[in-house]
Homo-oligomer: A and B are copies of this chain.
Amino acid sequence: MRTAYHEDLRRISDQLVEMTRLAGSAMSRASTALLDADVRLAETVITADHEIDANREALDNLAIDLLARQNPVATDLRTVVTAMRMSADLERMGDLARHVAKVARLRYPDSAVPAELRGTIVQMSQVASRIVAKAGSVIASRDLAEAASLERDDDAMDDLHRELFARLADPDFNHGTQTAVDLTLVGRYYERFADHAVSVARRVTFLVTGDYDTVVDREDEEDAVLTS
């Protein structure tokens, strides 16, 4: 029974890593679609999101099945419950990538991103790629130092988000409010994507250390970007 249990846990962990790969690929393609006004690429992100949703459902069913059959307690129980929470984070990251793709599709054949803001969006997309890749690596390795390093990536994302908002709110911004609305949403999608990646890393840290205080939504401890 312990063997079956550990095999199930391994499968759950592998599926979580696979979800980080899917969410990362989705956000990477959505970013390219947004920056290059590539409507076909945007469509691939939008139509593929159901895959991430299906992965989550499969993972949750496996977790529930494991709870019913094996009745894990203590650390084992926390591991399974935490896996279900990570799958919720990762599914949401897929949704956020889809939202970015939808903005690209909506503005096609125009680009939603004015030339002067491209650099900021490119950097946000790079941080997003890095942070989701690290989340996958942390799930597999349970490396606490790497888990902690996601906090710094998220700080970088927050700085970029702040910079984006400052540029949008600048009285000299002359691309109209439609563009400001689009980029306000896009900025928030990237920021939340990074928050969920941090959440995944913190849940891993919690499983290793048992310290529940590490599991706080990034947004709960920082002033929202808007207010700083």
A residues near B, CB below 8 A?
Answer: 49, 53, 57, 64, 67-68, 71, 73-74, 77-78, 81, 84-85, 88, 95, 99, 102-103, 105-106, 165, 168-171, 173, 176-178, 180-182, 184-185, 188, 212, 217, 219-220, 223-224, 226-227
**CB–CB A226/B77 < 8 A:** no
Q: In the complex the two chains form, what is the Cα distance from A223 to B98 in whole Å? A: 11
**CB–CB A219/B95 < 8 A:** yes
What residue of chain B has the Cβ atom nearest to residue A107's Cβ? B226
| Secondary structure call for the A interface | helix
Of the A-B pairs whose beta carbons lie under 8 Å apart in the complex, a sample of 10, sorted by A's number, is A53-B220, A64-B77, A81-B84, A84-B84, A95-B220, A105-B227, A168-B177, A168-B178, A170-B177, A173-B177
**CB–CB A226/B103 < 8 A:** yes
**CB–CB B184/A95 < 8 A:** no
What residue of chain B has the Cβ atom nearest to residue A224's Cβ? B102
User: Which listed residue (B57, B168, B184, B226) contacts A106, Cβ 8 A?
Assistant: B226
| Nearest chain B CB to A77 CB, angstrom units | 5
Q: In the complex the two chains form, what is the Cα distance from A88 to B178 in whole Å? A: 33
User: Which listed residue (B81, B177, B224, B226) contacts A177, Cβ 8 A?
Assistant: B177
Known contacts A95-B219, A180-B184; 8 additional CB pairs below 8 A are A49-B220, A53-B220, A67-B81, A68-B73, A68-B74, A71-B71, A165-B181, A173-B177
User: Which listed residue (B81, B84, B171) contacts A176, Cβ 8 A?
Assistant: B171
| Nearest chain B CB to A195 CB, angstrom units | 11
| Nearest chain B CB to A170 CB, angstrom units | 8
Q: In the complex the two chains form, what is the Cα distance from A64 to B77 in whole Å? A: 8
**CB–CB B67/A67 < 8 A:** yes
What residue of chain B has the Cβ atom nearest to residue A223's Cβ? B102
Which of A84, A85, A220, A223 is the most central at the interface, judged by chain B CB atoms within 10 Å of its CB? A220
The interface residues of chain B lying within 8 Å CB-to-CB of A182 are 226
Which of A71, A99, A184, A223 is the most central at the interface, judged by chain B CB atoms within 10 Å of its CB? A184
| Nearest chain B CB to A218 CB, angstrom units | 11
| Nearest chain B CB to A141 CB, angstrom units | 25
